[in-house]
Structure 1
Amino acid sequence: MLQLLKCYSERRFIWLFIALTGFCFLLIALYFQYILLISPCVLCIYQRCAFLGLIGASLLAAIDPKSLLRHLGILLWIYSAAKGLQFAWEKVKIQSDPSPFHSCVLLMDFPSWLSLDKWLPFLFAPYSDCASQQWQLMSLDMAQYLIGIFAIYLFIGGMIFISQFVKPGGHHLSW
């Protein structure tokens, strides 16, 4: 299994497919925002940034999947998936126990040299409070689904990371 994952991680197609899945999730977010008129909150925007990190990591690895870029892409992928999971978890906590003492801020906290909310407000500007639940499907809201999605990304990224230590032709890890 690990050898198969390592073999696949050395193919450009897989990395482009992972980037495509992240791009599809970004398109879904824009559909919710502009077609269904569901306003994003600060944590929603940070989750969009996590998807951009996944896309960037995949495209980085796709440049040359047999080189060091693959390893950098895997690490960036795991980091982005973990941050996305963290933001989704935080949003679920805020929604499940709304409190004036535990809420999200209303302004983005991007670095001054990367003020995405000013440059691309259609994609990165928050318009809602994190405690509001505006959409549900089968009694789960969007943040709960995103916990599952980011957990799957994190699991697959972790398995691919572990597979990089498998010796060719062997079943042992080479730590």
Structure 2
Amino acid sequence: MRKFSDYSELFLSVNATLDNLSFGIEATKFEAALKDVGALLGYVSQRPDKEIRKGPDNLWCGSNDHYLLFECKSEVSGTRQEITKHEAGQMNNHCAWFEDQYGPNANVDRFMIISTKTLSYEGDFTHKVKIIRPNKLKILKDQIKGFIKELKPFSLDEISDDTLHEFLTLHHLNVEDFSEQYSEEYYHKTR
């Protein structure tokens, strides 16, 4: 946040980022916006697939080495009925990459950002995966906007870590909030 000269600049930048964090947005812009949101919230935020050509679209690391792994399907049609076998396979590959890099006991929540929560009959997930659909993404974006509005009365270069943590907690933006607040269980289709 200290890279912004004032609140107005921060506010405009965050709004532009959140505009790109929307379904229907081209994947590269969406994933870049998700990386920026992670950094804004104070997480170590990376794009392994873009940066090293291996791994998930986005990976955040929060307090106590708690990771959030994201596979983004922002360009999938809003009317699509199912998560395909191929998409489930991609997610499984990213989960395997994460385990290889961080070990099988790492604390990680895995998310697929997609417009449907129905996994096709032919597909399977090898790890616990939760789904972030448009309604939950909107709630997340609204909470981020609320968090940013809390900062208006402050000089950005003088906000304490304690104050930021208080506002992150108030708006359910701590790493442990994501699974419960912004995602849901998938439904595995039967024949």
Bigger helix share: 1
The two structures have a TM-score, normalised by structure 1, of 0.31
The structure number with the bigger radius of gyration is 1
Q: Greater RCO between the two (CA within 8 Å, min separation 6)?
A: 1
